[in-house]
Chains A and B, each alone.
Chain A
Amino acid sequence: MTEGFAPPPSRGCRDTPVLKERGQHEVFCGLTGIVWLHRKMQDAFFLVVGSRTCAHLLQSAAGVMIFAEPRFATAILEETDLAGLKDAQQELDRVVHELLARRPDIRQLFLVGSCPSEVIKLDLAKAAERLSAAHAPSVRVLSYSGSGIETTFTQGEDACLSAMVPVLPETQARELVLVGALPDVVEEQALGLLEAMGIGPVRVLPAARRDGEYGVGPNTVFAMTQPFLGDTYAALTRRGATHIPAPMPFGEEGTTRFLEAIAAEFGIGPEVVARVTEAPRARARAAIAKVSEPLRGKRVFFFPDSQLEVPLARFLTRECGMEAVEVGTPYLHRPLVGPDLDLLPEGPRVSEGQDVERQLDRLRANVPDLTVCGLGLANPLEAEGLATKWAIELVFTPVHFYEQAADLAGLFARPLRRRAALSLEAV
Chain B
Amino acid sequence: MKLTVWTYEGPPHVGAMRVATAMKGLHYVLHAPQGDTYADLLFTMIERRNHRPPVTYTTFQARDLGSDTANLFKTACLEAYDRFQPQAMIVGASCTAELIQDDPGGMSETLGLPIPVVPLELPSYQRKENFGADETLFQLVRALARPMEKTARPSANLIGPTALGFRHRDDITEVKALLEEMGVAVNVVAPFDATPADLTRLGAAHLNVLMYPETGESACRWMQRELGLPYTKTVPIGVGATRDFIAEVAELAGVEPKFDAERLRLPWYSASVDSTYLTGKRVFVFGDGTHAAAAARIARDEMGFEVVGLGCYNREMARPIRALAREHGLEALISDDYLEVEAAIEAAAPELILGTQMERHIGKRLGIPCAVISAPVHVQDFPARYAPQMGIEGANVIFDTWVHPLVMGLEEHLLTMFREDFEFHDAAGPSHHGGKAVARAGDGSVPSPADPAPATSAGLEVVWLPAAEKELKKIPFFVRGKAKRNTESFAAARGEQEISVETLYEAKAHYAR
Return the chain A residue nearest B83 by Cβ: A357
Which residues of B sit under 8 angstroms from A66, Cβ to Cβ?
Answer: 5-6
Is the CB of B331 closer than 8 A to any CB of chain A? no
Contact A56 B65 (CB under 8 A): no
Q: Which residues of B contact A375 (CB under 8 A)?
A: 40-41, 44-45
Q: Which of A55, A56, A61, A92 has the most CB of B within 10 A?
A: A56
Q: How far is the CA of A377 from the CA of B125 in the complex (A)?
A: 29
Q: Does B60 contact A (CB under 8 A)?
A: yes
Contact A60 B41 (CB under 8 A): yes
Interface string of B50-64 (1 = CB under 8 A from A): 111000111111101
Residue from the list A116, A152, A377, A382 in contact with B99, Cβ < 8 A? A116
A59 on the interface (CB 8 Å rule)? Answer: yes
Q: Are A148 and B3 in contact (CB under 8 A)?
A: no
Residues B5 and A53 in contact, CB atoms below 8 Å apart: no
With a cutoff of 8 Å between Cβ atoms, the chain B residues found around residue A98 in the complex are: 3
| In contact, B50 and A28 (Cβ under 8 angstroms) | no
- Give the one of A22, A376, A380 with max B CB within 10 A: A376
Please tell me if A274 contacts chain B, counting CB pairs below 8 Å: no
Once the chains bind, are A150 and B62 in contact (CB under 8 Å)? yes
Question: Distance (Å) between the CB of B340 and the closest chain A CB?
Answer: 15
Does B79 make an interface contact (CB < 8 A)?
Answer: yes
**Contact indicator A149/B62 (Cβ below 8 Å):** yes
Q: Is A81 an interface residue (CB 8 A)?
A: yes
Flag the segment in B30-38, B193-201, B252-260, B294-302 that touches A: B30-38
Q: Are B96 and A79 in contact (CB under 8 A)?
A: no
A57 to B100, CA, bound (A): 21
User: B128 to chain A: which residues have CB within 8 Å?
Assistant: 52
Complex-state Cα separation, A236 to B2, whole angstroms: 36
Q: Give the docked Cα–Cα distance between A94 and B94 (Å).
A: 27
Which residues of B are found within 8 Å of A76, using beta-carbon distances? 1-4
| Contact present for B126 and A383 (CB under 8 Å) | no
Provide the residues of chain B in CB contact with A378, threshold 8 Å.
44
* B2 A118 Cβ-Cβ under 8 A: no
Assess the A24–B41 pair: CB atoms within 8 A.
Answer: no
Contact of B125 among A27, A32, A77 (CB under 8 A): A77
Name the residue of chain B whose CB is nearest to the CB of A382: B50
Smallest CB separation, A127 vs chain B (Å): 12
Residues of A within 8 A of B50 (CB): 379-380, 382-383
User: Across the interface, do A78 and B125 meet the contact criterion of CB distance under 8 Å?
Assistant: yes
> In whole angstroms, what is the CA distance A357 to B128 when docked?
29
Among the 9-residue stretches B7-15, B142-150, B492-500, the one with 4 or more Cβ atoms under 8 Å from chain A is B7-15
Q: Is the CB of B44 within 8 A of A147?
A: no
Indicate whether A82 reaches chain B with its CB closer than 8 angstroms: yes
User: With A67-B361, A75-B2, A79-B125 in contact, do A57 and B38 touch (Cβ < 8 Å)?
Assistant: yes
B413 contacts chain A at the CB level, 8 A cutoff: no
Main DSSP-derived SS at the B contact region: mixed
Q: Is the CB of A56 within 8 A of B10?
A: yes
**How far apart are the CA atoms of A55 and B123 in the complex, in Å?**
17
B191 to chain A, nearest CB (A): 20
A89 to chain B, nearest CB (A): 10
The smallest C-beta distance from B267 to any residue of chain A, in angstroms, reads: 36
Task: Look across to chain A and name the residue whose beta carbon is closest to the beta carbon of B376.
Answer: A59
Which A residues are in CB contact (< 8 Å) with B36?
A: 29, 53, 148
Residue A104 CB within 8 A of the other chain:
no
Residue B76 at the chain A interface, CB threshold 8 Å = yes
Please measure, in the bound complex, the distance between the C-alpha atom of A27 and the C-alpha atom of B3, giving whole angstroms. Answer: 26
Q: How far is the CA of A51 from the CA of B9 in the complex (A)?
A: 12
Instruction: Determine if B35 and A115 form an interchain contact, defined as CB atoms under 8 angstroms apart.
Output: yes
Q: Does A26 contact B (CB under 8 A)?
A: yes
Residues of B within 8 A of A72 (CB): 5
Instruction: State whether the Cβ of B42 lies closer than 8 Å to any Cβ in chain A.
Output: yes
Interface flags for B79-103 (1: CB within 8 Å of A; 0: not) read: 1000100000000001110011000
Which chain B residues lie closer than 8 Å to A28 at the CB level? Answer: 35, 37-38
Q: Is the CB of B42 within 8 A of A60?
A: yes
B4, A74: Cβ atoms under 8 Å? yes
Instruction: Please tell me if B234 contacts chain A, counting CB pairs below 8 Å.
Output: no
A230–B417 alpha-carbon span in the complex (Å): 66
A363-408, CB < 8 A from B: 374-380, 382-383
Query: CB within 8 Å of B: which of A95-141?
Result: 95, 98-99, 115-116, 118-120
Query: Whole-angstrom distance from the CB of B44 to the nearest CB of chain A?
Result: 4
**Residues of chain A contacted by B39 (CB below 8 angstroms):** 56, 60
> Does residue B233 face the partner (Cβ distance < 8 Å to A)?
no
A266 to B323, CA, bound (A): 75
Given A52-B10, A56-B10 in contact, is the A379-B44 Cβ separation under 8 Å?
A: yes
Residue among A23, A61, A149, A380 having the largest count of chain B Cβ atoms under 10 Å: A149
Closest to B2 in A: A76
Is B432 positioned at the interface, with any CB of A under 8 Å from its CB?
Answer: no
| A358 to B439 Cα, complex, angstroms | 59
Closest-CB distance, A66 to chain B (whole angstroms): 6
Sample (5) of A-B pairs whose CB atoms are under 8 Å apart: A23-B59, A51-B96, A56-B7, A74-B3, A376-B52
A residues touching B (Cβ–Cβ < 8 Å)?
22-32, 49, 51-53, 55-57, 59-61, 64, 66-67, 70, 72-79, 81-82, 88, 91-92, 94-95, 98-99, 115-116, 118-120, 147-150, 152, 357, 374-380, 382-383
In the A-B complex, the 4 residue pairs with the smallest Cβ-Cβ separation, listed nearest first, are A29-B35, A148-B35, A376-B40, A383-B50
If A29-B38, A74-B3, A76-B4 are given as contacts, then 11 extra A-B residue pairs at C-beta distance below 8 Å, sorted by A number, are A24-B58, A24-B76, A25-B34, A51-B124, A52-B128, A53-B10, A59-B5, A60-B39, A115-B33, A116-B99, A118-B62
